[in-house]
Structure 1
Amino acid sequence: MPKPYPEEFRRDVVAVARQGEIPLAQVASDFGISYSCVKNWMKQADIDDGQRPATTAEESAELREARKRIRQLEQEAEVMRRAVGYLSRDVNPKMMYPLVLDLAADGIPVAVTCRVLGFTTQAFYKWRKNPVSQRDWDDAHLINEAMDIHADDPGFGYRLIADELPARGIHAGENRVARLCSHQRIWSVFAKKRGLHRKAGPPVHDDLVGREFTAETADATWLTDITEHPTREGKLYLCAVKDVFSNRIVGYSIDSRMQASLAVSALRNAITVRRPAATIVHSDRGSQFRSRKFVNTLAANGLRGSMGRCGACGDNAAMESFFALLQRNVLDRRTWATRAELRLAIVQWIEKTYHRTRRQRRLGRLTPIEFETINQAAIAA
């Protein structure tokens, strides 16, 4: 495309042609331009001077500028309209670069979109060169691991998740974990905020017990629950599994943290000792018993899960009665200095006193060990 002639040169050609002393063809030849070019310049000069009725060059320039501005405003309005629809899908506001690509495909310049959305074109082109940065890649892996950890134990908040990540090969600061967990709504089920009331989680099993805490044979129905007690070092948690047939504690686990692994460990201890088959394992709706680890352990060993209603203590009353007995006989008898001291006292009371010394009227004034020994021999006979 040829470059336009300077305005001053055009004015000089028109001035010479208007003198009328030299024919237009000769003027065109002298200035090295075409004859039609001289005529057009003459015509436009007459229009600009008001000698001909038409649109002047200044008016044409204003009209072109107005049309350009209208087109630009239409493009900006389209960018805003599409941006509102994009953000209504709960997309991270910082990830608007794909919208720029969509608008560019529809003919809207990248510079216009970037100006309206408030970021530079350099940032957009840098993202287009490498759409998935290493930081985004690492964040995606961290979020996946955090969701797996939280699914295994819904009681885990961002602090416990940050503590568990190094064991899975991911090292990240606690603030970063908190930010990503908050964005993904990964919160502990025990988190309580002012004005926020959380409902209990949905049951993962039906209630197969129905407050019928009796059984004809051993290992037909197990009850399980978790209790806690403070020491000067902090709280100690006990998860116990009780056989309804003999009231014997067939498995238990004690730890300083109330996680899903506590319930899983108690269940696995009971399975190792008893080798049950098709046993019903009844619990409340605690997050530890709804966790993926606990449910998978039940399924892997052929056990049937059961859960009571939310807030109905009577649905697991037989287990609550054992914890009440433990509370009176051990936990509240004195102040415990260390977790190890309380742990030893609990184990000794369960294994020595509750199982082998303390007689129960429901068992015909027998201990759980005696009741199982006598009745299992009678059933076998």
Structure 2
Amino acid sequence: MSNNRYPEEFKIEAVRQITDKGYSVADVSRRLDVSVHSLYAWVKKYGPEAEKHAAQTEEQAELKRLRKELQRVTEERDNIKKSRGVLREAVRLRYAFIKHHKDCWPIRKLCRLLDVHPSGYYAWLKEPCSRRQKRDVRQTGLIKQFWLESGGVYGYRKIHSDLREYGERIGINRVHRLMKLSQLKAQVGYRKPRHRSGVSHVVTPNRLNRVFNTEQPNQAWVTDVTYIKTHEGWLYLAVIVDLFSRRVIGWSMQQRMTKELVLDALLMAIWRRKPKKKVVVHSDQGSQYTSHDWSSFLKSNNLEGSMSRRGNCHDNAVAESFFQLLKRERIKRKIYSNRAEARRDVFDYIEMFYNSKRRHSSNDQLSPVEYEKRFEKTATECLVN
């Protein structure tokens, strides 16, 4: 039974039976029905050497306290070594550190060391992800989806436009941060040495004169030719681009760079657009564009020629810019085994992505097709009103 049922006077008299009258501890224990352990404890506390035992008890208690304090300081020192960088991190990272080391040190000590409250830690255990983190995860998924749909070429500005159109409320800086954390980057191009001067064509002047923005469709088109490498040989591509929306309205791909290549591209543009007024068609001074057949075709279809200065690509910057995008975002990222494979991929880029989906900075971050649709809708509304 507990010793608390014995009053202090009883304990003192029991000790006297042992110290003064000479009874053995076992005898007193049997007569008083008290355990031997309790009697020995009473002798230490109330016997002749009580003060000595009390002093030893205090020393033991102090020694125990010092050992406990030393253990605490040692643990905190070791914790600080491991958590040196964690102290500067966000609270959720400190919670994660505590969870990882909870088997080594008490949770409350870790909380005190890392300056967090235990209740906050236990609340975090029930729901480790905050609302902001959950939103980051969801929006990062959307960013990756739109980035993959772009073929891995969009930067944060165009991704931001996709998200806003999707209905997501998100700032452009947040998109930049999430893309940086996910290591998603825009496809960066390359630069070549460019000539900045040249001689004008003697027959066809530079009517465009670097005016690359028009007020409506079918005012000015630009055209150029590029080449695509395949294991089967070169594939040549000619395009016609409308300066109003930067839409590729005509194209042709052949294994030889002849006048038929550029004429087929121009024929597609005329078939698609059916212009009612005269259109300026700007090109460089390549042999395909200086041929008699090209000039005759322009005249017979109410088109007016325009040519860059020789060796000056800046006079035809829009067509050069399109080819740079095509090669940067698609061609240079693939290896074509034959011309048919390259033809399919280029068609997919022009018609399925560039014209219909790819956002363009000159179109208020709209695709060429969408930009023209909005222009037609606005023009129709103005006529009705």
- Structure label with greater radius of gyration: 2
Q: Normalising by structure 1, what TM-score?
A: 0.46
Q: Normalising by structure 2, what TM-score?
A: 0.46
